[in-house]
A and B are shown apart, each in its own frame.
Chain A
Amino acid sequence: MANKDRTETVDLHGVELKITRKGEGPPLLLLHGGGGPMEALPFADALAERFEIVAPVHPGFAGTPIPKHYDGMPDLVFTYLDLLDALGLRDALAVGVSLGGWLAAELAVLPGAPFSKLVLVDAVGVKHGGPTDRDIADIFGMPGPALARLMWHDLAKAPDPTAQDEKALETMAGNRIALALYGWEPYLHNPKLPHRLHRITAPTLVLWGESDRVVTPDYGRKYAALIPGAKFVAIPEAGHSPQAEQPEAFVKAVLDFAA
């Protein structure tokens, strides 16, 4: 069964990382965003027909613990370096969404960059503007419905928090803490990253929801311009999560790029 999920927990020098695999084929490292794991969504099923998806859970998300020594993104980067070593993963196609896109970019600038190709989806991680420019919407500074309006092209596709059970809400609240840990200050970016992105050698696709207002397509175009040879593609009628809102267009863009 190509799509049967296989979940394991890997111990990386004291940091426990939960990993789900699905599908068969060349490896696709799927790095989730602030909303938490997303390998159960239809887009992942479609990609699993061509790839073996390797989908780790960043510590703190989906009810997993935050290691005591963790303070932010650099800790996550080093855990992923340990993970790639442990799995012997060297030529994966990396697909990073939002926070996961930032993580993918941080990994891709390091010596011996481990990815064959890189897809950054509505990624955060850099700041283009000046001190008073709000490059990335302050998702911690607005009520849920206001955030949903920035995130979704079609609000009808947004998950309804009032329909969630207690357990799901608790998981969401935990995800919010983890996202804050990785990106509270500087807010969801690393000021050094723009000075390092020139090191990326893997072919890169910057994929963006055309209606994203958490980080706008303009932010994405500027991001792409910092990465040598990167291609920018906008997906119409999609917000911050094109993989969820326009799965077919999203999968097609990834497959075209991977081919």
Chain B
Amino acid sequence: MRTFWFTEDCYPDLPNADSYESIRVDLPSSHFDPVRGHELYNWYLDLWGHADEMGLDIMNNEHHQTATCMVPAAPLMLAILARETKKARLLILGNPIGNRRQPIRVAEEMAMIDVISKGRLECGFVRGVPYEAAPANMIPYRGTERVWEAHDLIMKCWTTHDGPFNFEGRWFHGRQVNVWPRPYQQPHPPVWVTMGSRGSGHMVAKHRHVGAVFLAGYSRIRELFDGYREAYLEMHGEHAPFDRLGYLALIYVGDTEATAREGAQKLLWYMTANKVPPHWASPPGYFPPSIAARVLSGRRIGSGIPLEVTLDDQRERGNVFFGTPDQVYEQIREFWEYSGGFGNMLMMGQAGFLGEKDTLRSMKLYAEEVLPRLKALEASTTPAEAWEKSKAIPQREFATQDSVSADFVR
């Protein structure tokens, strides 16, 4: 069991949310104070440095035109970390290759980071959340098809070493593709892809890539993991190893339940700050018409808010784990067994105004008291056993749709 420690690098110093329509796409950059931004960038880099020292691995990502994430170029942050950290695996989750016009550039950047870090790159590819369509000016229709064509091109870039090849796809073209450098890890760095539906796991499993799921909670995790596991078993004739699946949740560990609750409440900023109106939340073709219709008519929760989320509800749903080390271990174990098991915990451990002291305390408690037990849990069983055991646990249903997973699972 690996744990990739993650902060989305938000810019939290915003006026009251009533004063703006959206935290994404059209929030003026007059709200961004570059002096404060300088402090924050360097602080976030320091936090990842601490993660490395504590034996945690590292995850980062990017978003555009938003205060929820100050990093519009995740490879830049990762390049710094490739140099500043020593042991941690470096997961970028991910490169939004459905929105990128030049996948070859992505292949080049990732290969560089892999070489600089001496083969520590874990390279994720994502379609990107719907609010990314406007900043990228990319039509979301057929976005998944574009992701896989870009994926194929990047993989070929990494694994071709005998001079130029030709690639003339539907969206991406190069007639003399010959990427330098080649990656440090051979034949290529591990690849991760996010999954948002049962069907989306099929292609990920086909390539034996890691399938990652964000905040799907109890209500959807088995649909997504089972989709991957079934496809993997069918195509490869063996069970998917635990390390092929990953799950992202908000995690806060405190010395006492009270301090943990306080920390987790601050972490919840990530969900409550995501105020997005329907036209950014449902650009044309991101969702099929049946779902888009609900978003545009305002009938689906999860857009045009601040989201109404509560800590206890989110813990019950399996999106947030918080408490003392014992409590957090128990919560993750319960979810882990229910889900059928996974080998990668993606720990969103900092958000909003959660400060340095509290963030570091949670990281340390997690690294020293939770992670070893999760490793033992994983080692105590096999993927086949864990999957079988999960099938005997009744599906958990919730009376209301979870706006968070509706917005973030993809």
- Footprint of B on A, CB under 8 Å? 140-144, 161-162, 164, 166, 169-174, 176-177, 179-181, 184-185
Chain A residues near B134 (CB-CB < 8 A)? 140-141
Nearest CB in chain B to that of A69: its residue: B170
Q: Are A185 and B293 in contact (CB under 8 A)?
A: no
**Cβ of B279 < 8 Å from any Cβ of A?**
yes
**Also in contact, A181 and B296, with CB within 8 A (given A141-B279, A143-B278, A143-B279):** no
Query: What is the CA–CA distance of A169 and B300 in the complex, to the nearest angstrom?
Result: 13
Some 16 contacts from A to B, beta carbons below 8 A apart, are A141-B26, A144-B279, A144-B296, A164-B297, A170-B293, A173-B289, A173-B293, A177-B284, A177-B285, A177-B292, A180-B141, A180-B283, A180-B284, A181-B285, A184-B139, A185-B137
Q: Are A173 and B139 in contact (CB under 8 A)?
A: no
Q: Is the interface of B mostly helix, strand, loop or mixed?
A: loop
Tell me the residues in window 162-218 of chain B with beta carbons closer than 8 Å to chain A beta carbons: none
Chain B residues near A144 (CB-CB < 8 A)? 278-279, 296
Query: What is the CA–CA distance of A177 and B277 in the complex, to the nearest angstrom?
Result: 18
Nearest CB in chain B to that of A178: its residue: B284
Q: Are A161 and B297 in contact (CB under 8 A)?
A: yes
Query: What is the CA–CA distance of A140 and B26 in the complex, to the nearest angstrom?
Result: 13
Q: Are B297 and A176 in contact (CB under 8 A)?
A: no
Q: How many residues of chain B get a CB closer than 8 Å to chain A's CBs?
A: 20
**Cβ of B290 < 8 Å from any Cβ of A?**
yes
Q: Are A170 and B290 in contact (CB under 8 A)?
A: yes
Per-residue contact bits, chain B 134-176, to A (CB 8 Å; 1 contact, 0 not): 1001010100000000000000000000000000000000000
Q: Is the interface of A mostly helix, strand, loop or mixed?
A: helix
Shortest CB distance A187–B (Å): 9
Nearest CB in chain A to that of B297: its residue: A169
| Of the residues A166, A170, A172, A185, contact of B139 by C-beta under 8 Å | A185
Chain A residues near B297 (CB-CB < 8 A)? 161-162, 164, 169
**Also in contact, A173 and B278, with CB within 8 A (given A161-B297, A180-B285):** no
Tell me the residues in window 290-307 of chain B with beta carbons closer than 8 Å to chain A beta carbons: 290, 292-294, 296-297
Nearest CB in chain B to that of A146: its residue: B279
Shortest CB distance A49–B (Å): 35
Q: Are A161 and B279 in contact (CB under 8 A)?
A: no
Q: Are B292 and A173 in contact (CB under 8 A)?
A: yes
Shortest CB distance A65–B (Å): 12
Chain A residues near B282 (CB-CB < 8 A)? 173
Nearest CB in chain B to that of A168: its residue: B293
Query: What is the CA–CA distance of A161 and B284 in the complex, to the nearest angstrom?
Result: 17
Nearest first, the 4 closest Cβ-Cβ pairs linking A and B are A180-B284, A169-B293, A173-B292, A173-B289
Chain B residues near A176 (CB-CB < 8 A)? 284, 292, 296
